[in-house]
Structures are given as C-alpha cells and as structure tokens.
Amino acid sequence: MQKIAVIGAGTMGNGIAHVFAQHGYAVNLIDVSAPALDKALQTIIKNLDRQVAKGTITEAIKVDTLGNISLQTDLATGVKEVSLVVEAATENIALKLKIFQDLDLHAPADAILATNTSSISITKIAAVTKRPAKVIGMHFMNPVPVMKLVEIINGYATDKEVTATIVALSEKLEKVPCVVNDYPGFIANRILMPMINEAICSLFEGVAGVAEIDTVMKLGMAHPMGPLQLADFIGLDVCLSILQVLHDGFGNPKYAPCPLLVNMVTAGYLGVKSGEGFYKYTPGSKDLVVSERF
C-alpha cells in the first residue's frame, strides 16, 4: 500500500494527508474546491514548520512530505490507482453516501474504502457500494499530526483481513489503533458527546458558569481541556450533529441535544470556527475569554 487518496481538504483531511505523506506514502488530496486545496497545503506547510521548529522532524522530512502530496479536484482521476481511500468530507450522510457511490465506481476493485466519520454508520455507507467487505471506519482525532488515537470501526460486513490491514497501517503511521463495532457514536463520541451535552445542560440550568464547569473537569478529572472549550474546538454544529445521530440511532432521550446547544448552532455561534461559542476567540490571541453571553 503505497498510494493513498484523501477526500476533503478541511481540517481533518489536510491532517490525514499530512500524516500519510510524512510517513512516506504518496497522497492525492482531493477536493472539489481549488481554493480549499490551496488553503490545506498552506496549513500543512505551517504545521510542518512547527514540527521543524520543535525538532520533531528535519527540514529534509518536511521537503519529502510536501513532495509526497498531490492536489486534485477530480475524484475519478485522483482515486484511479490508489490502494486506500480515506474520506474526510463534511459530516453529512447524503454527501458521504454519494461520495462512496462514486468511489466504488472509480477506485480499483481491490482498494479499501475508509471513512473518517465520527458517528455515521459504516454499515450504511458500505451498503451503497458493491464492496461492503472493503469498507471500514478510520476515525482520526483532531489535530491529526498530534493525536495518537485512530478509532477503527468495523461495519457489519467488513472483512477481518481489511481490519488487520488498517490496524497495521495505523501503527506504521505511529498511531494507536482501537478496533470497535458499528453502533451510533462508536465509542469515542458515544462517551464524549453525552458528557459535553451534560456540561451544556449544567450551564443552561444555571448550575455553574462556563469557566467553573471547565475548571472542575480540568483540575478535578485531569482533563487537558474542559468540555465546553472542547465543544468549541470540535465545532458546536458537529457536536449537535453527532448528538442527533445518537438520539435517532438509540431512540433514548438521554442523548437529546440541550436546547442551548440547538439555539447556539441555529444562531451561528459555532465555537472556534465562527469566532465565538462558549468562549470568544480573537485572532492572534491565546487568552481564554468567556463569551459575554454567559
């Protein structure tokens, strides 16, 4: 497995492309938007420069990594000769199903098709292809170059050899693979999102303030980041989407999104990406400032 295609040039896509390229794989980074590809490349360069400055990689590795990345806007061309595709498009089920139909049509018949989805059913995605045994979840954590975990999700029909291949590949990327089965939220988000939702409910009900909730979890539970700050970092729209998947998938009211979260997303307060969520984010500043709305 030497040639990889990554679909989607957003935060996750450029991070996944970065990691594969840094470990010697030829990567086609594919996105319908040329400006998005250019932005992704600049992000990869900036992150590589940070690694060089910290001494974790050499300048030569940076040069080799960039040389391994090819930017493409045409999916059919980009996946034509690859052994693995990792889809990292927006967390939208209709979009992902369409992408996998196209991948099944254009990627080599023996290519493994992986998705970086954080909550959408692998089995459902696999069902729109003619190769469900070769479809698997490969859920990287953000930021991809830093975070060690890869949550590997078996669909109902995923072949054991495919799972073994992806586990071995993850280890070659210097990641720690954890294999789980395909149920709503998998493991990472089935546990994380109810915690975040409960933190939002606690704020909504006036139990404590933003800083107090996050401080309790950081100092009392040894979390590196409080749940409200983490929600801002993930994106409140993404948190809402995952909670809706959990709520729909299990039919259990304990997964129902907090009304405050729903209102914030509706109003466009999405966290870091929009400049304000539970905290306010000023470009160039690392100060953690609670939003005036709280």
Residues annotated as binding site for NAD(+)?
Answer: 8-13, 31, 91, 96, 118, 142, 273
Told to judge if 151 belongs to the known catalytic residues of this protein, a careful annotator would answer: yes
Residue with tokens 């979260």: 261
> One of 14, 47, 87, 151 is an active-site residue; which one?
151
Two structure tokens written together for 257: 């999104």
Q: Residue 79: in which H helix or E strand, if any? A: none
Residues annotated as binding site?
Answer: 8-13, 31, 91, 96, 118, 142, 273
Told to judge if 202 belongs to the known catalytic residues of this protein, a careful annotator would answer: no
Q: What are phi and psi of 176, to 5 degrees?
A: -110, 110
What is the C-alpha separation between 117 and 156, in angstroms, rounded?
Answer: 16
Classify residue 234 as exposed, middle or buried by CB count within 10 Å of its CB (0-12, 13-18, 19+). Answer: buried
Told to judge if 223 belongs to the known catalytic residues of this protein, a careful annotator would answer: no
What percent of the chain is helix, strand and coil (3-state, nearest 5)? Answer: 50, 15, 35
Q: Hey, what's the torsion of the CAs at 118, 124, 129, 134, to 10 degrees?
A: 60
What is the C-alpha separation between 176 and 184, in angstroms, rounded?
Answer: 22
> One of 118, 119, 197, 241 is an active-site residue; which one?
118
Computed over its alpha carbons, how large is the radius of gyration of the chain?
19
In this structure, the number of other CB atoms found within 10 A of the CB of residue 165 comes to 17
Residue with tokens 């045994």: 133
Q: Residue 49: in which H helix or E strand, if any? A: helix 34-54
DSSP code for 268: T
Report the b/e string of 22-39 with b at 16+ CB within 10 A: bbebbbbbbbeeeebbee
> One of 189, 197, 202, 241 is an active-site residue; which one?
189
Two structure tokens written together for 275: 């400049």
Two structure tokens written together for 203: 């704020």
- Residue 143: cis peptide before it, omega within 30 degrees of 0: yes
Told to judge if 189 belongs to the known catalytic residues of this protein, a careful annotator would answer: yes
Q: What are the catalytic residues?
A: 118, 139, 151, 189
